[in-house]
Amino acid sequence: MTNPLFDSLSLGDLHLSNRIVMSPMTRDRAGPDDVPGQLMVDYYRQRASAGLIVTEGAQPSAVGKGYWRTPGIWSQAQIDGWAKVAEAVHAEGGQIVMQIMHCGRVVVPANRGYDADVIAPSALPCPDLVPGPDGVPAPTAMPRALAADELPGLAEEFAQSARNARAAGIDGVELHASSGYLINQFLNPASNQRTDDYGGSAENRVRFPLMVLKAMADAIGNGRVALRISPGNPYNGMDVIDPAATFGPLLQGADALNLAYIHVLDMGLKDLDTLGFVRNACRAPIIANNMLTAETGRALIEAGRAQAVSFGRAFIANPDLVARLKTDAPLAKPDYSLLYTGEEKGYVDYPPLAPSA
Ligand SMILES: Cc1cc2nc3c(=O)[nH]c(=O)nc-3n(C[C@H](O)[C@H](O)[C@H](O)COP(=O)(O)O)c2cc1C
């Protein structure tokens, strides 16, 4: 029997040559003004044999930035920078989707290099420390609560970021709705204590996230828009009680939008079969993620629990991960001290296997 990891697959309007996806990873290598430069072009080009690359989170506005040297997708210079990334990946036969990540309240002001608002559903700070410019954990800023009448305009910023990604030649966008960033902050009762139509019940808490998804789908077509979730993930101060109660209505809303895929960072919850739950709530294809191997990924696809699988850390030191998995070759280990620092070191200097190996 052939290994389905290496079969082609269509996800909406995306056409993958294999089912091994590169998971989004923030690497803090954008240039001045949050513009992707040659280093990022080389990094993504090296990894273009993935069936699909999901880029690191890119902020849809200056206000969306919370971390050090993350790329933007709101200025013309940023669009031009991403165009070189897309061109390089396409020249190698790959497909590339951009993750749209608005940090909301998860902002260390010194990471930005400029003054800008810090926004959230409610005026509640992130309880966790976040790496600052020198990588030392630092407190985040106190956010201001968004007014309800600001939300349609904010959703339009996400839609514009999707148009900008397409203008750069990027194949689609993935909305980051996990890990405690803005969209997750609306979903979660720990960070959303609003008393209007956008807070309280689960139906209210999913309203803004679905408004954003719909705006993005209307902007560039639903077959190029995807959603990333991680039910029960406590990262950045999220409450983990009964994630199904919130993610059920979110996924039902996503189902109606007929998205390209749902990317599931599966926490391996004790009380919830997350992949089965997502499958029942929404018909979109599933990309499963978290601590997978070639064997466990293959088993998920063969069982129909996912249509593709994504790898994060394994892609860091193995730019040719697909070839290595195909030939059962050993995987190189990344230098974790260089995840967010080092420029080319620990970024574009991991070699592919020699042809004879
Ligand atoms: C250095 C690093 C940066 C990451 N940045 C992001 C990110 O920007 N957006 C996101 O959704 N997940 C991010 N993640 C999570 C990964 O996409 C992935 O879910 C996680 O590493 C688990 O997959 P793995 O076991 O295959 O590594 C990051 C992970 C790492 C290691």
Single out the catalytic residue among 43, 44, 67, 181.
Answer: 181
Instruction: Report phi then psi at 208, rounded to 5.
Output: -70, -45
> Distance, CA 289 to ligand 1 centroid (Å)?
9
In this structure, the residue with its CA closest to atom 7 of ligand 1 is 25
Whether the predicted model's global pTM rises above the 0.85 cut: yes
Is residue 185 within a helix (H) or strand (E), and if so which, with residue range? helix 182-187
d(CA 89, CA 92): 5
Domains and CATH numbers, the chain: 4-338 (3.20.20.70)
Let me know if 181 is a catalytic residue.
Answer: yes
In this structure, the residue with its CA closest to atom 14 of ligand 1 is 25
In this structure, the residue with its CA closest to atom 13 of ligand 1 is 25
CA 311 to each of CA 47, 56, 163, 194: distance values in angstroms, whole numbers, following the listed order: 12, 13, 27, 36
In this structure, the residue with its CA closest to atom 23 of ligand 1 is 290
d(CA 341, CA 233): 26
> Distance, CA 229 to ligand 1 centroid (Å)?
12
What pLDDT does residue 356 have? 60
Pocket test for ligand 1, best of 21, 25, 43, 238 (most atoms within 8 A of CB): 25
> Distance, CA 322 to ligand 1 centroid (Å)?
18
Nearest Cα residue to 117 out of 141, 148, 151, 139: 141
In which residue ranges of the chain is pLDDT below 50? 357
Instruction: Report phi then psi at 296, rounded to 5.
Output: -70, -35
d(CA 208, CA 263): 19
Q: Which protein residues are within 6 Å of ligand 1, measured from CB?
A: 23-26, 56-57, 99, 101, 176, 179, 228, 265, 289-292, 311-314, 339
What pLDDT does residue 355 have? 73
From the alpha carbon of 311, which atom of ligand 1 is closest?
26
Pocket test for ligand 1, best of 23, 55, 261 (most atoms within 8 A of CB): 23
Q: Residues near 149 by Cβ (< 8 Å), separated by ≥ 6?
A: none
Tokens of 51: 């069936």
